[in-house]
Amino acid sequence: MALFDYAPAPESRAAAGDIASTYGHFIDGEFVESTGSEALKTIDPSTEEVLAEFAQGTEADVDRAVAAARKAFTSWSALPGAERGKYLFRIARIIQERSRELAVLESIDNGKPIKETRDVDLPLVAAHFFYYAGWADKLEFAGYGSNPRPVGVAAQVIPWNFPLLMLAWKIAPALATGNTVVLKPAETTPLTALRFAEICRQAGLPKGVVNIITGDGRTGAALTAHPEIDKVAFTGSTEVGRAIARTLAGTTKRLSLELGGKAANIVFDDAPIDQAVEGIVDGIFFNQGHVCCAGSRLLVQESVHDDVMDALKRRMSTLRVGDPLDKNTDIGAINSAAQLARIQELTAAGEAEGAERWSPACELPSAGYWFAPTVFSNVSATHRIAREEIFGPVLSVLTFRTPEEAVAKANNTPYGLSAGIWTEKGSRILWMASKLRAGVVWSNTFNKFDPTSPFGGYKESGYGREGGRHGLEAYLDV
Amino acid sequence: MTKRYACRYAALVSMSSSSLSASGLAEVASSEASLRRFLHGLPGIDAVGLQARAAGLGTRSIKTTAKAYAIDLAISMIDLTTLEGADTPGKVRSLCQKAKNPDPGNPDVPHTAAVCVYPDMVPFAKEALGGAPINVAAVATAFPSGRAGLPVKLADTAEAVAAGADEVDMVIDRGAFLSGRYLEIYELIAEIKKACERPDGTAAHLKVIFETGELVTYDNIRRASWLAMLAGADFIKTSTGKVAVNATPANTLVLMEAVRDFRNATGVQVGVKPAGGIRTTKDAMKYLVMVNEILGDDWLSPDWFRFGASSLLNDLLMQRQKLASGRYSGPDYVTVD
C-alpha cells in the first residue's frame, strides 16, 4: 500500500435531489404522461442500479411537443430580445445556484466523475446560458443583417457524453435568437434534461418554448422527420447524422450536425513535455474518452517517442479509476454496456492487428461498466484503432518524422473535428493550424471549451458551428 | 525525458550508474558554453499548463485517515523558521522548545524536522535543542540577497558549520543567473558545498535557494534546479520568504519535476523545500498531494521534503486537534511560539 493513501471522499448522493420513479415528457410547460405505454430504464452505470423509468416517446408525443413549440413560437419570437435575455439570464443563475444538485445527478446518470461535472460541465453549462443571454438583444450587431429573424421550431437531439452541456449548447442559442425547441436527450442519460425542465418552470419561461421528450432512436427519428419543424440540430454518431441528412434532403429544413472524431494530438520534439503529457491525458482520458473531439490519436515525433511514452505511462499510473462520486476519482464508469462492448471489441482488434497494449495496474469495481485507461503503441495507420472512433479511454500512438508528415497523418481521417499541437515554436503552431483540416485546433492545450469559441467539424465530423457569434447563424434565417 | 538532453552532452551514454560522471553530466559544467547549452536544452515549460496541473492536484480531497496522516507528516517536515533582524537568543530558545514539543497538551505530536535561523543564532539553537533529533539549519551566503563577495559567503557558511549547523540554506546570485553567468553560480555552489565539510569528514546538508520570485519564469526555475543539482545540492528550495512571491504550488511543481528527472538520469535523489507563504493546513495538503503524485513514496519523508514555514505549524496543530476532538479550539489553545 502506498504511504499516502487517500481516504474515500464521497460527494453526497442525496445532493442530487429527489429522483422520481417514473418520468413522462415535458410539453407545453407541463410534465405529462406519454400517449404510449412503453417505458425505458435509466441506470447508474457505476452500479447498474436502476435510477428511474422514463417514457419512450411516440409519434403522437412528438406531434404534441412540436405543436406546443409551434404555438409558443409566435409570441416568443415577437418578444424584444432584452426580454428573452432576461429569461436566459435567470436560467443561467438558477443553474449556478443548483449546480451541486445537477453535478451529482449528472454523475449518477452518466458515470462521469464528480470532479468533472463539478469543475467542467456545470460551469460551462451556466457560462453558455450567460453568453447567449447577452446576445439576445444584440442580434442586429452579430453580422447577420439589421433584423435577423429566427428559424422557427428547432428539433434538437443530443448525446449521452455531456448530457446537460450539450443541452445548453443547443437550447441557449436557439432561445436567444427567438426559436422554440423540442429536445430529446439520449436514452441512457435523460435525468438532467428532465431536471432542466423544472428549471424552465422555476424561471417562469413561457409555456412551450422548451419541450423535452424522452425516448430512444425511434423517438429521435420521429422528431427529426416531423413535417412541422424548421431545423434539426444533432450531436452524435456519424451514422445517425447521415440518416438524418437523408431524411431532410429535399426539404427546406436546416440542419447542423456535430458528429464523430478521431483527432490527432501532435507532439513535437521541442514540446513542453510535462505539459504535453498532461494534455495527452486530458485529451483522451477526460470523460472516460467519451468525447467527440478526444485526442485519440497521439502523433509523436519519433525522436522523443520513448521519452514521451515513459512519461505518459508514469502519469497514467497515477490516474484514479472508480466511484464517480468520489471527489478524487479521475476516471469514472463507461456509460453503458453497449459502449463498453464497443470499446472491448475495438481494443481486441487492436491487439489482434499487432499493436502493443498497455494499461496501468488498476483495480476495477466488480459491478458496473468499467474500462482501464489504455494506450496502444506501435500502431500503424492501417489499424482499425487508428481509423475508427473508439469513444473510450483508449489512446493509439503513432510516430512522425517531419512537420509535413505530421500534417499528412493528422489529416488522414474521414473526420476533422479537432487537433492539438505541442511545440514551443510559435511559427510552427501557426503553420500547422493553417494546414490541419479540423474545426478546432488547440495549441499547447487540449479539450478546452468556452462559450465564446465556435466548435464544429470538417468532413464527416459534421457541419455548422456551435458557440460564439458563429453559433447564432444556425438558428437565424440568414 | 531529460535523459535525451543528458545524452546529447554525454561523453558516456550509459545511464544506469548512479553517478554524475557515469550519466555523462559531469562534462556539462566543463565550460560556460556547454553549461548554457545544456540548461537551455532542457524541455520548455508551458506556464498555463503547469499552473493548471498544480491547480488540478490542489482539488484532491484529503479526509479522515488520510488527513490525519498528512497533518503529522507535514508537522514532521517543517523547518520551523525565524529569520528576523530582531531575533534574540530568547526567541530562538523558545522556537526550539516549540520544535521539540509543538503541542504541549499532546505529546504524541511529532517534532519538526529542523529549526532554521541566522548563523549567529546557531549556538543558541544547538544548546536549546540539546540531544533532540532536530536539525539546525542556518541560512548563509549573505542571505537573503546574496549580494556579497565569495569570501564573505564562504566565511558566513564556515561560521554556521563551525557553530554546529546540520544544514546550510544558501542563496544563489540571482543577478548572475539573470545575466547568464551560470558557471559562476555553479562554482559558487560547489565552493559552498566544500565549505559545508567538517573536519571529521562529515558535511552539513546543503540546501540551495533560488528565490524563484526573482527568477520569474518557470523555464528559469527549471534551469536553476538543474544547475544546483549538477553542482551538488542536497536539497533545492524555492524562496527566502523575503520577497513578494515565494513558494507557489506551480513553482514547487517545477522543482519536483526536476528532482524526479534528475534521479532518472543520474540515480541521485535530491530533496525539495518550498518556503514562504505556506500558512494553512490546506496549503500543506496541496504540496503533499504533489509530492505523492509527482514523486511518490520515496520523497514522502522529512529526509526528502521540507516546508520552510513558521505560522503553518499552529494551523496544523489546530486542525489536528479538530480532527481528534471534532471541534475547533482556536488560536488560544496553541502556543504562539
Q: What is the pLDDT along chain A (478 residues), one digit of tens a residue?
A: 789 999 999 999 999 999 999 999 999 999 999 999 999 999 999 999 999 999 999 999 999 999 999 999 999 999 999 999 999 999 999 999 999 999 999 999 999 999 999 999 999 999 999 999 999 999 999 999 999 999 999 999 999 999 999 999 999 999 999 999 999 999 999 999 999 999 999 999 999 999 999 999 999 999 999 999 999 999 999 999 999 999 999 999 999 999 999 999 999 999 999 999 999 999 999 999 999 999 999 999 999 999 999 999 999 999 999 999 999 999 999 999 999 999 999 999 999 999 999 999 999 999 999 999 999 999 999 999 999 999 999 999 999 999 999 999 999 999 999 999 999 999 999 999 999 999 999 999 999 999 999 999 999 999 999 999 999 999 999 8
Contacts of residue A115 in chain B, CB cutoff 8 Å? 59
Average pLDDT of the residues in B137-164: 97
Q: Can you read off the three cell numbers belonging to residue B78?
A: 517543517
Find, in chain A, the residue whose alpha carbon is nearest to that of B70: A4
Q: Which residues of A touch B61 (CB under 8 A)?
A: 6, 9, 327-328
Chain A residues closer than 8 Å to B49 by CB: 272, 274-275, 278-279, 444-445
Q: Tell me the angle at which helices A163-176 and A191-202 cross, rounded to the nearest 10 degrees.
A: 40
> What is the predicted pLDDT for the residue at B16?
34
- Chain A residues lying within 8 Å of B67, measured CB to CB: 7
For residues A173 and A476, the answer to whether their CB atoms sit within 8 Å is no
Confidence of residue B146 (pLDDT cuts 50, 70, 90): very high
What are the residues whose beta carbons fall under 8 Å from the beta carbon of B327, sequence distance 6 or more?
Answer: none
Q: Which of B61, B222, B304 to mutate to test the interface with A (most CBs of A within 10 A)?
A: B61
Return the pLDDT at B17: 35
Query: In the predicted model, is pLDDT for residue B194 greater than 60?
Result: yes
> Which residues neighbour B114 within 8 Å (Cβ) at sequence distance 6 or greater?
B78, B79, B80, B99, B134, B135, B136, B137, B166, B167, B306
Q: At residue B11, does pLDDT exceed 80?
A: no
DSSP secondary structure, B308-320, as one string: EESTHHHHHHHHH
User: Are the Cβ atoms of B49 and A273 closer than 8 angstroms?
Assistant: no
The position carrying cell 514521451 is A308
CA distance B20 to B267: 9
* B288: three-class secondary structure by DSSP: helix
Task: Single out the residue of A180, A165, A181, A97 nearest to residue A131, CA to CA.
Answer: A165
Test B293 with A272 for CB contact under 8 angstroms: no
- ipTM at complex level: 0.95
Write down the catalytic residue from B207, B273, B283, B286: B273
- Inter-chain Cβ pairs, chain A and chain B, closer than 8 A: 86
Smallest CA-to-CA distance from B157 within B204, B199, B121 is with B204
Please tell me chain B's helix, strand, coil percentages from 3-state DSSP, rounded to the nearest 5: 50, 10, 35
Among the listed ranges A295-304, A351-360, B5-14, B223-232, which one has the minimum average pLDDT value?
B5-14
Whether residue B298 lies within 8 A of chain A, CB to CB, comes out as no
Q: Do B53 and A274 touch (CB under 8 A)?
A: yes
Q: Could you tell me which of B115, B111, B130, B112 has the C-alpha nearest to residue B160?
A: B115
Would you call the peptide bond into B144 cis, given omega within 30 degrees of 0 as the criterion? Answer: yes
The chain A residues in contact with chain B (CB within 8 A) are 2-9, 115, 119, 270-275, 278-279, 303-304, 307-308, 310-311, 318, 327-328, 424, 444-445
How many angstroms separate the Cα of A380 from the Cα of each of A195, A290, A356? Answer: 45, 23, 11
Q: Which of B169, B173, B234, B315 is catalytic?
A: B169
Q: What is the pLDDT of residue B329?
A: 83
Domain ranges of chain B: 47-58+78-98+112-312
Q: From chain A, pick out residues whose CB is under 8 angstroms from the CB of B288.
A: 4
HSE-CB of A401 using CA atoms within 13 angstroms: 0
Mutate one of B46, B57, B261, B288 to test the A interface: name it (highest A CB count within 10 A).
B46
Tell which residue, A109, A68, A121, A288, has the closest CA to residue A195: A109
Q: How far apart (Å, rounded) are the C-alpha atoms in residues A192 and A199?
A: 10
The secondary structure of chain A, three-state, reads: CCCCCCCCCECCHHHHCCCCCEECEEECCEEECCCCCCEEEEEECCCCEEEEEEECCCHHHHHHHHHHHHHHHHHHHHCCHHHHHHHHHHHHHHHHHCHHHHHHHHHHHHCCCHHHHHHHHHHHHHHHHHHHHHHCCCHHHCCCCCCCCECCEEEEECCCCCHHHHHHHHHHHHHHCCCEEEEECCCCCCHHHHHHHHHHHHCCCCCCCEEECCCCHHHHHHHHCCCCCCEEEEECCHHHHHHHHHHHCCCCCEEEEECCCCCEEEECCCCCHHHHHHHHHHHHHHHHHCCCCCCCEEEEEHHHHHHHHHHHHHHHCCCCECCCCECCCCECCCCCHHHHHHHHHHHHHHHHCCCEEECCCCCCCCCCCCCCCEEEECCCCCCHHHHCCCCCCEEEEEEECCHHHHHHHHHCCCCCCEEEEECCCHHHHHHHHHHCCCCEEEECCCCCCCCCCCECCCHHHEECCECCCHHHHCCECC
**Yes or no, beta carbons of A307 and B1 under 8 Å apart:** yes
CATH 3.40.605.10 in chain A is located at 13-259+458-473
Contacts of B189 (CB under 8 A, 6+ apart): B170, B172, B206, B208, B227, B228, B231, B232, B233
Cβ distance B62 to A444 less than 8 Å, yes or no, reads no
Asked if residue B4 has pLDDT above 80, the reply is no
Q: Which amino acid is it at B309?
A: A
DSSP H or E segment with residue B306 = none
Let me know if domain B47-58+78-98+112-312 sits in CATH 3.20.20.70: yes
**Angstrom distance (rounded) from CA B94 to CA B91:** 5
**B292–A2: do the CB atoms touch at under 8 Å?**
yes
B127 CB within 8 Å of a chain A CB: no
B117: part of which helix (H) or strand (E)?
A: strand B114-117
CB contact under 8 A, B60 and A7: no
Mutate to test the interface with B, among A1, A3, A312, A450 (most CBs of B within 10 A): A3
**B67 vs A: CB within 8 A:** yes
Q: Inter-chain contact A445–B53, Cβ cutoff 8 Å?
A: no
Could you tell me which residues come within 8 angstroms of residue A397 by beta carbon, excluding any fewer than 6 positions away? Answer: A298, A300, A305, A309, A375, A376, A377, A378, A379
Spacing of C-alpha A313 from chain mean position: 27
Helix extents (H) in chain B: 3-8, 20-23, 32-41, 47-57, 64-76, 89-100, 122-129, 150-162, 174-178, 182-195, 212-215, 218-231, 249-266, 281-290, 312-325
- B116-128 in b/e form (b: 16+ CB < 10 A) is bbbbebbbbbbeb
Q: Give the closest of A7, A275, A303 to B66, CB-based.
A: A7
Closest chain B residue by Cα to residue A318: B293
Residue B2 has pLDDT above 60, yes or no: no
Distance between CA atoms of A322 and B290, rounded to whole angstroms? 21
Reduced to 3 states, what is the DSSP secondary structure of residue B18? Answer: coil
Q: Which residues contact A131 (CB under 8 A, 6 or more apart)?
A: A172, A451, A452
B235-293: pLDDT as tens digits: 999 999 999 999 999 999 999 999 999 999 999 999 999 999 999 999 999 999 999 99
CA separation for the pair B303, A43 (Å, rounded) = 49
Question: In the CATH scheme, what is the code of domain A13-259+458-473?
Answer: 3.40.605.10
Mean pLDDT taken over chain B: 93
C-alpha to C-alpha distance for A144 and A139, rounded to whole angstroms: 8
Residue B19's pLDDT is 62
Give the separation between CA A392 and CA A346, rounded to whole angstroms: 10
Quick one: residue A173, left, alpha or beta (phi over 0 = left, psi -120 to 50 = alpha)? alpha
Cell of A52: 428511474
Q: What cell numbers appear for A391 in the block?
A: 469513444
As annotated, the residues of chain A forming the CATH 3.40.309.10 domain(s) are: 264-443
Rg (CA), chain B: 20
Cβ contact (<8 Å) for B1 and A310?
A: yes
Angle between the A59-78 and A217-224 helix axes, to the nearest 10 degrees? Answer: 50
Distance CA A464, CA A476 (A): 12
Q: Does B62 contact A at CB distance below 8 Å?
A: yes
Q: With an 8 Å Cβ cutoff, are A9 and B65 in contact?
A: no
Q: Which CATH superfamily is domain A264-443 in?
A: Aldehyde Dehydrogenase; Chain A, domain 2 (3.40.309.10)
Contact A304 B50 (CB under 8 A): no
Cell of B248: 507557489
Closest CA of chain B from A279, distance in Å: 8
A451 close to A131: Cβ distance less than 8 angstroms: yes
| Other CB atoms within 10 A of residue B181 CB | 17
| Residue B170, C-alpha cell as written in the block | 544558501
Q: How far, rounded to the nearest angstrom, does the alpha carbon of residue A108 sit from its chain's CA centroid?
A: 17
Residue A395 backbone phi and psi in degrees, to 5: -110, 135
Sole residue written with cell 534528475: B262
Residue A423 contacts residue A430 (beta carbons within 8 Å) = no
CB–CB of A364/A265 below 8 Å? Answer: no
The alpha carbon of residue A454 is apart from the nearest alpha carbon of chain B, in Å, by 21
Nearest to B276 by CA among B213, B334, B224: B213
For residue B110, is pLDDT > 50? yes
Active site residue B153: no
